[in-house]
Structure 1
Amino acid sequence: MRRRNFLETLAVGSGLFAVAPLLSLPTQAAVKQIKKSDGTEQLEADVVIAGGGLGGFAAAMAALRNGQSVIMTEETDWIGGQLTQQGVPPDEHAWIDTTGATQLYRDFRNRVRDYYRRNYPLTEAAMNDPLLNPGNGTVSELCHEPRVALAVLTELLNPYLSTGRMVLLLEHKAVSANTEDDRVKAIHVKESRTGSMKKLVAPFFVDATELGDLLPLTGTEFVTGTESKADTGELHAPDKADPTNNQAFTMCFAMDYVPGENHTIKEPANYTFWRNHVPDLTPPWPGRLLELHYSNPKTLQPKKLGFDPLGGKTGDALNLWNYRKIISKDNFVQGTYPGDISLVNWPQNDYMLGNIVGVSEEEFDKHVAAAKELSLSLLYWLQTEAPRPDGGKGWPGLRLRKDIMGTTDGLAKYPYVRESRRIKAMFTIREEHVGRANREMVAQTNKDKAAEFSDSVGIGYYHIDLHPSSNRVNYIDFDSLRFQIPLGALLPIRMKNLLPANKNIGTTHITNGCYRLHPVEWSIGEAVGLLISYVRRKELTPAEVRKDGKLLADFQSFIRSQGIETVWPE
């Protein structure tokens, strides 16, 4: 019997889209590795992707399965971005298991569940749960360890790596680029451990870095920070623009709780500062940062939080321990884990005292070091001073799990970045397109639906969620509508062969708040990988696809055949 190919398997398993053949392409060539006479190493492929996060990974998978050879770089030693090196269990919407993401993304999620079933001693109930949530965290229907995501992502890439169709350059960062006639000709990357350089050459380049690093290197037009109301006309935009005002970033960490043991860390050097720190925000933050309260994101009124690593009731307050819990010991055979494991990405370790977008390496390192001190100070406060339900203080049994994050200090390998440089795009998504209140003001009909984009290449959903910012603006958080991803937002206004695949697409500061989450970043990347495959086959530019109605319709039919949803089901 004929074996099903990848897409047929996905199609039959999901029942969500029709089976269609891949593009008719010649057998995929391997990446070329050339040693130049001057000793420099040059690698050549069909696509070069800078950044191995979710958008970069998805772009690579889409290009690879359609016959393209790929070079992907990653600044750290882990691919996976938010899910792995940054330690953030997925932020998703309520429909994620059936719709609102690509089929490949849902396949990844099911592979994570299967990984636990194959490798972990689950209880019978957990083993038979089709929607297994290993951590039972409340932030998502699937909370799991970063290393499991890394294992699943790596497994998906391995066939391409072993055949030479893909080269993965870990611990490499782009440092310069060559451009000519509105095209990127090459980028130069530096290995962090040795300082050695490589030149990467391709017809197409993808910026999937966390901060939009390729944009300034290639001269691609971009914006940063906050636009003004005069710039965008958005309901929640401020009167004055501020290019340096970006959302807080976070240095996440993992911890478990071992009752009866003392795992208290050494008091951090700057603990006194952080213990007494009151964020200077407008509107005001309700007291010290290291307390069990924060500003209600929607109302900005003081809101209590709870914390009990034994999983006890905390009244009406959210128990932070359960929020991003990645291992619930109750899902595993008794004795497998001494306690639950939880990842800490809370309001209390959002770093608001500096901006890391578009700054020098020294400035970046300074703020990351300070953010690490904040996270360790939060842990120390939890171990020594946090109020307990029994009236006591501190939980010394909290243990920093360095092994979970794969680092010597126990903190994430890279900051959880919420905001990046953003391309000046052929189309910019504004609040009036996706914000519920703004939409009600401007829409002539269908005021309860997001704007429909004729060039949609994906869908997603999250409320507009802006964390406190580097220039002292408190939360901005309000309802959005289930939205589409327009192709125009993925196309720079001038550059012909550079595409974004992270938080660097054509959004505003406001709309970035709902386009920055895990499945949306993945959808952006997959659309970009498919776009490159399509235009290389047709010998077109990306802009020509959007401009020509017949080409656009053909491209949308192609991506739908590969598991991309372009409209929300009624």
Structure 2
Amino acid sequence: MNAQQPDILVVGGGLGGVAAALAACRAGRSVVLTEETDWIGGQLTSQAVPPDEHPWVEQFGTTASYRGLREGIRQYYRQWYPLRSEALSLTELNPGAGRVSKLCHEPRVALAVLESMLAPHRAAGRLTVLTGHRPVAAESDNDVIRAVTVESLPDGNRLTLTARYVVDATETGELLPLAGVEHANGAEARGEFDEPHAPDEAQPLNQQGITVCFALSHHAGQDHTVDRPEDYAFWRSYRPDFWPGPLLGFEAPDPRTLESVPRTFVPNPSLDPLDVTADQSADAGDKELWGFRRILARTMHRPGSFDSDITLVNWPLNDYWLKPYIGEETQALREARQLSLSLLYWLQTEAPRQDGGTGFPGLRIRPDVTGTADGLAKAPYIRESRRIKAVTTVTEHDVAIDLVGPRGGTRYRDSVGVGGYRIDLHPSTGGDNYIDIGSVPFEIPLGALVPRRLRNLLPAGKNIGTTHITNGCYRLHPVEWNIGEAAGALAAHCLADDVEPHQVQADDQHFDEFARVLDRAGIQRHWPDVRGY
């Protein structure tokens, strides 16, 4: 393969990008995959966020390759970790026993499994992975992207890549403005799609907050207190108008009711991790912070193996929403990092304890877990992207349970996958509190992956044709993977059959041929009857 002229260029190595590259390579196509950080995997790795998934994930509702990723993570723990015999025998092992997911785990484990999934294609010469590269320019004419230029972050060298198909799998849809692709930012006006929760006027700078995550362990009797962060005085006194108290405090709104609810924080609780149930449909699990996103449970392993759990801090207390990330990336990221460091310092020095004291100096930030010098994640957890103006736009009227009823929702003739999650919007840069709306299990229409004008660009993540509102349920880990897998498969199919994405989407015969490709790959395109689950 000519590394500068692959069949398919995938820009962005998050979950959608990896899935797109895998699908294209499985079809025998040559692929270049670029990634800005030095870790592929996005949400699961460089952003350090355990997967958010629907309650039926162990039975159905994902692609076969995503199930393979999940099983690979479990098998990694079974093979290499000193699990108790009771844990080792669990088919549905939840390594961290976190409540947010049935599969809470460390970022490095996901990285190892993803690298393993890509390994045979790299060995065969079909796949080139360029980490530490970000897109800086794109050339297009006649509604076709001709070339994309990426810059090496370590040395500033630039490389121009050409490909028949280009997949934008970046976290914020970075190729869209570079290539002049019509897209939306922030919140659409209510009049555009008649969505009940949309604002009266368009608010392009109203974007969901980002979070700079970090991992913690706790070591009683030790002092791991960090230096006082530069912006600590600001964050210590900051109290949002819609918050029940200071942001750095254990009172926060319940995302579903907006009522003030106390959170508890007890490091290394005595509850047996095998007794933890992770089912967000029944209990969001976010009231007990240590166990919410725990990624390693010490007592799940043989005695003496670990002296502490490890928990992942992605809490209401460190959501950042003062500036929009898209448009003010540098300053927003700096302030979000300062917020997370300030939260750490507050926990170590001032947080109230159940014994009446203050501070947990034994909390230790874990650079070894995140792969960074300071212990903060390599990249911020980004919940909202630029979104293509697509052939099909998914709106509240397609998925919100209050509008479609419990057994409603739009069923698409061109469905390329499924997903399920509440419409979950975190506080935003426009001053909105949580917007949390019940939704029905949904389908992913191919039309949402097809730009209205561009002929060889495909999105592979949060940049598909959703709205500010419906992005809230289409943005999670298994859906991003499904979108990316469908995009990679579509690009390969179009090359093989000499058709274009618009033709595949619009023509029933062309779509039926592509649907058979997806079916053979184990991509579930419609939901079964879920009664009884």
Q: Does the alignment reach a TM-score above 0.5?
A: yes
Amino acid at match of 2:250: L
Mapping 1:167-566, distance limit 5 Å? 167-280=128-241, 284-311=242-269, 318-357=287-326, 359=327, 363-440=328-405, 448-566=407-525
Encode CA deviations 1:312-347: one digit per residue, 9 max, x unaligned: 68xx98210000000001111111111100000001
- What is the alpha-carbon distance in structure 2 between the residues aligned to residue 351 and residue 60 of structure 1? 32
Kindly indicate whether residue 96 of structure 2 is the aligned counterpart of residue 135 of structure 1: yes
Check if 1:47 corresponds to 2:8. yes
Secondary structure of the corresponding residue to residue 44 of structure 1: coil
Q: How many residues align?
A: 516
Matched letter for residue 547 of structure 1: A
RMSD: 1.2
For 2:467, the aligned partner's letter is T
**Structure 1: gaps spanning 5 or more residues:** 1-30, 34-42, 441-446
Report matched runs for 1:7-156 at 5 Å: 31-33=1-3, 43-156=4-117
The SS at the match of 2:348 is helix
Q: Which has the larger radius of gyration?
A: 1
CA contact (8 A) 1:46 1:70 kept: yes
Listed one character per residue, the Cα deviations across residues 176-196 of structure 1 (whole Å, up to 9, x for unaligned) are 011121000110110001111
- What is the CA–CA distance in structure 1 between the aligned matches of 2:511 and 2:19, rounded to whole Å? 21
Distance change (3 Å), C-alpha of 1:317 and 1:393 = farther
Deviation per CA, 1:107-147, whole angstroms, max 9, x where unpaired?
A: 11000011111111111111111111110000000000100
CA contact (8 A) 2:265 2:289 kept: yes
- Give 1:268 deviation, angstroms: 1.0
Give the letter for the 1:55 counterpart: G
1:99 aligned counterpart, secondary structure: coil
Alignment check: 8 A CA contact 2:132 2:154 kept: yes
8 Å CA contact 1:235, 1:438 repeated in 2 = no
Q: 2:19 corresponds to which letter in structure 1?
A: A
Residue identity matched to 2:452: I
Confirm or deny: 8 A CA contact 1:464 1:510 kept in the other structure.
yes
Shift of 1:380: 1.0
Amino acid at match of 1:290: L
Superposed CA offset, 1:214-252 (max 9, x none)? 001111110000011111101211212101100000000
What is the CA-CA distance between 1:438 and the residue it aligns to? 2.0
Q: Aligned with 1:294: secondary structure?
A: strand
Tell me, yes or no, if the aligned pair for 1:329 and 1:340 is still in contact at 8 Å: yes
More off after superposition, 265-274 vs 493-502: 265-274
**Any runs of at least 4 consecutive aligned residues in structure 1 with deviations exceeding 2 A, and if so which?**
none
1:460-493 alpha-carbon deviations (Å, 9 max, x no partner):
0000000000121111001000000000000000
User: Quick one: distance in 2 between partners of 1:345 and 1:562?
Assistant: 34
Q: Distance in 2 between matches of 1:376 and 1:547?
A: 50
SS in 1 for 2:431: coil
User: C-alpha distance in 2, partners of 1:166/1:524?
Assistant: 20
Q: Aligned partners of 2:269 and 2:441: how far apart in 1?
A: 33
In 1, the alpha carbon distance for the partners of 2:268 and 2:375 equals: 22
Question: What are the Cα deviations for residues 432-470 of structure 1, in whole angstroms up to 9, with x where unaligned?
Answer: 000011224xxxxxx622211111000000000000001
Residue segments in structure 2 that go unaligned for 5+ positions in a row: 272-284
**Aligned-pair distance for 1:287?**
1.4
Conserved? CA contact 2:286–2:292, under 8 Å? no
Q: What SS does the aligned partner of 2:38 have? A: coil
- Aligned with 1:162 (options 114, 123, 132): 123
Query: Aligned with 2:263: secondary structure?
Result: strand
Q: Secondary structure at the match of 1:318?
A: coil
Q: 1:377, CA displacement in angstroms?
A: 0.7
Report percent identity of matched pairs.
50
Q: Distance in 2 between matches of 1:509 and 1:398?
A: 37
Aligned residues of 1:212 and 1:421 also touching (Cα < 8 A): yes
Deviation, structure 1 residue 32: 0.4
Check the 8 A contact 1:188/1:198 in 2, yes or no: yes
In structure 2, what is the Cα distance between the partners aligned to 1:439 and 1:244? 29
Counterpart Cα distance in 1 of 2:286 and 2:388: 40
Distance 2:183 2:286 in 1: 41
Residues 1:439 and 1:128: Cα distance change in structure 2 (over 3 Å): same
Q: Distance in 2 between matches of 1:555 and 1:72?
A: 23
Kept in 2: contact 1:304–1:317 (CA 8 A): no
AA in 1 matched with 2:459: P
Q: Distance in 1 between matches of 2:347 and 2:182?
A: 44
Give the letter for the 1:288 counterpart: P
What letter corresponds to residue 2 of structure 2 in structure 1?
A: K
CA distance in 2, matches of 1:160, 1:197: 25
CA distance in 2, matches of 1:554, 1:72: 27
Rounded Cα–Cα distance in structure 1 between residues aligned with 2:486 and 2:474: 14
Between the aligned partners of 1:467 and 1:90, the Cα distance in structure 2 is 17
- In the alignment, residue 64 of structure 1 is paired with which amino acid? C
Partners of 2:380 and 2:397 in 1: CA distance: 30
- The residue identity in structure 2 corresponding to 1:111 is G
| One-letter amino acid matched to 1:32 | N
SS of the aligned residue for 1:544 comes to: helix
